[in-house]
Structure 1
C-alpha cells in the first residue's frame, strides 16, 4: 500500500488535470445513471399508457444522455491517460537521473538487465495502472455508491437481497490481491534476469560465436524464458479461476432480483418499468464487479513494480558532495596518496594497502604490475569513483572527499582500457566531456590523439555517425577517439588505463608521440603492460597484491634487477632498436 500511495503522490504535480478528470468522470456517470430512469419512465408512462409522444421524447432523451456520456467519457479518458503518461515519464526520468548518481559500487553488484527491466517493464506496469485501473477503480467506486443509494430508494428489501453478495466479492478480491502480488513480483524478477541474459549475449555475441557456444547459450536462454513462462502461468491459472468465480457470485444477485421482483410485479406492488430499471442498475453494478478482479490484478502488478523501482530510487549514493564541498582556487594537478588502503564493498581482502605517492604538477607516474595488483584501483580513487577505506587522496591540497565531484572529475581526463563510444557522431563523442567545445578545440584534441587524419578521410568527417559502441571503427581508431575525448576538456590530470593495449606497435608509437605533447603541463598516470609506454615516466610504481614493491625511474629499476627488470628483459631487449626511435 505504501508503494501505491507513493505512486499516487506523483499525480499531485498535475492537480488541475486531476480535478478536470474527476469532473468529467462525474458528468459521465450522471448521464449514464439517468438512462435507466428514462427507460423506466418510457415503459411506465409511454408503453404501458400507450402514449406514443412519451416514447418518442423519452427515446430522444436517452440518445441525448448517451451522447453526453460519450463526450465526458472521452474527456475523462484523455485526461487520465495523459496524466498516466506524464507520471510514468516523471518516474522513468527520476529513476534514470538517480541511477546516474549512484556510486560505482552499486553497479558492481547490480545486473544491468535488472535495472533496464525496472526502467521499462516496471514503469509500464505503473503506467497501465494509472491509465486504466485507477480510472476504473474511481469510476467503479462512485458507480457502486450511487447505484446502491438508488436501489435502496426503489426497494430497500430487494436492494439488500441483491447486494448481500457484495461482502463476499470484496473479501474474495482482497484474498486474490494478497496471493497474486508475490506471483507478479516473481514474474518481474525473472523478467529482469531474462533481460540481463539477453543483454549479455548480445553484447558478447562475438565471444559466443568464437567459442561455438551458440547452442549452449540458446539452451540457457530457453531455460530462462521457460521459467519466466512458468511464473506467468502460475499467475494466469490463479487469475483464470478468479474471474469465473466472481462472475458466478455476481449472477446470484440477478437470480434473486428476478425471483423477488417478478413476484412484486405480479402482486401489483411494483411496476414493470421499475423492475426493468432495477435490473439495468444492477447490470451497471456488474461492470465494477467484473472490473474488480482486473483492478486488483493491475494494483498487484503496480505495487510489485513500485517496490522494485523505489528500491533503486531509495538507494543513497555512497559517493556524493559533502555539504561544504568546494573547489581549490587554482587547479594544478598536484596529487598525493597518504597511506591509502582500500577494500571493495563486496570483497574480503584489501585491494590496496598503505599506498603513498606524490605526483607533482606535470609529472608522469607509471603503474606496473601483474593483473589484479591494484593499478586500476589506484587511478579510480583519484576521480573518487570509490572512497578510501583508510588514509586519504589529496588533489591540489584538498582531500578529494571535500571537492565538488563535478569540478574534480571535470579536471581529470580518463582513457580506459576498453573505451566506450556512443552511437552518435565522432564530433559529439570527442566533445562529450566538453559539450561547449568549439570545432577548433575538437580538431586540436583529435590531432593530439593522431585521430584527425582518419576522421577527415571518412565520408562525413567529424559528422560521421558511429555504430553501437563505435563498431564502425577499428580498435586503434576507437582508442584514439577516446584519447581525443579525454584531451578535449583540457584536463590538469590525465589517466591512461592501459590505453594502448588494443593497438598495434605502429599505432602505439604514433599515440605515444602524440601523448608526449599532450602530457606537457598535465599530471599523468599511466597504466600499461608494455614497458615501452612507461620508460619516460618520472616515477614508476611496481605493484603486487595491492602493495608497492618497487619504486623509481626506468633506469634505477633496471639497475635493481627486480621484477620490473625481469619483465623488461622479457618484453623489450629484443625490440630496443625499434623502440629507441621514440626516445
Structure 2
C-alpha cells in the first residue's frame, strides 16, 4: 500500500523528492548538535593526524639518504621523527574512536526516536487503515527501513564529510609537493565521480524493489505464522511454501544484484586508482633520477595517493548508503506523514475519579 500525500515533500517526483528525503534525514541528525560537533571534531582530528604521517616519513627518508650520501653517522633526528610518527598514529586512533562513537550514538538515538514516532502513528490510526495495509508491510517499514535510515548516519553523513575533507586536503598537499604529479593524481577523481553517480542510480532502483519484495515476504510469513492451523487443516502447505519460496527468491536475486552493482562500481574505481598509481611511480621515478624530486618527496606523494585510495573505496559504500537511505526514508515517511481520518480536537474531557463500583440486584 502506497500512501501519497500532496502536502508532503515526498509527493515530489524524481531528484527533488530524493533531495527532500535526504534533507529531512539530515535535519533529524542535526537535532543532536553536541554529538554532531564532536563527530566533526573527530573527523578533523583523524584527517590532521593522518596527513602528518606522510610528511614525517618523507622527512625521515630524506634525512637518512642525506646522511648516507655525505658519509655522516648522526641519525639522532630519526628518534624524534619516530616519536612524532607514533604520536600521530595514537592521536589518529583516539580521534577515530571519537568519530565512530558519536556517529553510532546519533544513529541509535535517531532510530529510537523514529521507532517511537512510528509506533505512535500506528496507534493513532483507525481500524480501516489497518485493514487496508498488511502487518508484514508495517513490520518491514518499522524494522528494515528504520535500520536503513540509521546506517546513513555512520556510513553516509559523517563519512561524506570525512571523504570530502580528506580528498581536498590530500589533493592540496599533493599539488604542493609536486604540481605535475599532483595533477596526474587528480585525474582519477573525474571517472570515479561518474562511476559513483551511475552506481547510485542503479542501486536506488534495486533497493526500491528489494524493500517492496521484503514487505511481501514479511506479509507471507506473518500470515502463515498466524494461520498455520488453518493452512494445515485444509492441506495448503504446498501452496503456501511455494508462495513463500517465490517471494524469498525475488528478495535473494535482487539482493545479489545490488551486491554485484556495488562490487562492480568499487572494482572499477579501484582499477582507476591503481592505474594512476602506476603512472605516478613511472613519472616520479624519472623525476628522482633527474634530481628534480627527492626520494622522500616521492614517498610522500605515494602515501598521499594511498590515503586517497581509502575514500575512493569508501565511496562505493557511501553511495550504497545514500541509495538505501532514500529508499527507506521514502517508505518510512509515507507512514509518518499519514494523517488519521479521526483526530482529537484538542479538548480533553476529564472524568471524575470513581471511588466504588457495585452491582445491585444483578
C-alpha contact 2:220 2:244 (8 A) present in aligned 1: yes
Determine if the alignment matches structure 1 residue 32 to structure 2 residue 55. Answer: no
What's the TM-score once normalised by structure 2's chain length? 0.88
In the alignment, is residue 273 of structure 1 matched against residue 296 of structure 2? Answer: yes
Which residue in the other structure is 1:9 paired with? 27
In structure 2, distance between residues paired with 1:437 and 1:219: 56
The structure richer in strand per residue is 1
State the 1:437 CA deviation: 9.4
Say if 2:40 and 2:158, in contact at 8 Å, map to a contact too. Answer: no
Once the two structures are superposed, residues 339-365 of structure 1 have per-residue CA deviations (whole angstroms, 9 ceiling, x without a partner) of xxxxxxxxxxxxxxxxxxxxxxxxxxx
Q: Relative to structure 1, is the Cα distance of residues 294 and 326 closer, same or farther in structure 2, using a 3 angstrom cutoff?
A: closer
Following the alignment from structure 1 to structure 2, what is the Cα–Cα distance between the partners of residues 14 and 32? 27
In structure 2, the partner of 1:157 is 180
Q: Which has the higher contact order (CA 8 A, sep 6+)?
A: 2
Deviation at 1:207, TM superposition (A): 1.0
Q: Does residue 87 of structure 2 align to residue 87 of structure 1?
A: no
Residue in 2 that maps onto 1:120: 143
Normalised by the length of structure 1, the TM-score is 0.56
Distance 1:174 1:291 in 2: 14
1:454-487 CA-to-partner distances (Å, cap 9, x unmatched) read: xxxxxxxxxxxxxxxxxxxxxxxxxxxxxxxxxx
> Which position in structure 1 is the counterpart of 2:319?
296
Q: Equivalent residue for 1:249? A: 272
Gap regions ≥5 residues in structure 1: 328-406, 412-435, 449-513, 518-583
2:222 pairs with one of 180, 193, 199: 199
Paired residues, number: 339
Q: Render the CA deviation track for 1:358-377: whole Å, top value 9, x for unaligned.
A: xxxxxxxxxxxxxxxxxxxx
Contact 1:46 1:54 (C-alpha < 8 Å) held by counterparts: no
Deviation at 1:56? 2.0
Between 278-287 and 5-14, the greater mean CA deviation after superposition: 5-14
Q: Look up the match of 1:45.
A: 63
Asked if the contact 1:133/1:295 (under 8 Å) is kept, the reply is yes
Q: Which whole-Å CA distance do the structure 1 matches of 2:148 and 2:217 have between them?
A: 17
Preserved CA contact (<8 Å) 1:147 1:285: yes
Q: By how many angstroms is 1:6 displaced?
A: 0.5
Q: Give distance in 2, aligned partners of 1:263 and 1:200.
A: 70
User: Alignment partner for residue 105 of structure 1, among 128, 132, 135?
Assistant: 128
Structure-2 separation of matches of 1:230 and 1:259: 43
Shift in Å, 1:326: 6.4
Q: Which has the higher helix share?
A: 2
> Could you say if the C-alpha distance between residues 240 and 27 of structure 1 is closer, same or farther in structure 2, counting changes exceeding 3 Å?
closer
In the TM superposition, what whole-angstrom CA distance separates every residue of 1:304-357 from its partner, at most 9, and x where no partner exists?
A: 00000001111111111236x565xxxxxxxxxxxxxxxxxxxxxxxxxxxxxx
Alpha-carbon distance in structure 2 between the residues aligned to 1:313 and 1:270: 60
After superposing on structure 2, the runs of 4+ consecutive aligned residues of structure 1 that deviate more than 3 Å are: none
2:338 counterpart SS class: coil
Choose 1 or 2 for highest CA Rg.
1
- The answer to whether the Cα contact below 8 Å between 1:47 and 1:55 also exists between their aligned partners in 2 is no
Deviation for aligned residue 1:47: 4.2
In structure 2, C-alpha distance between the alignment counterparts of 1:78 and 1:47, rounded to whole Å: 42
Q: Structure 2 CA distance, aligned partners of 1:251 and 1:437?
A: 79
Corresponding residue for residue 211 of structure 1:
234
Q: Which of 152, 157, 161 pairs up with 1:138?
A: 161
Give per-residue Cα distances to partners, 1:95-118, cap 9 Å, x unaligned: 111121123332221111111111
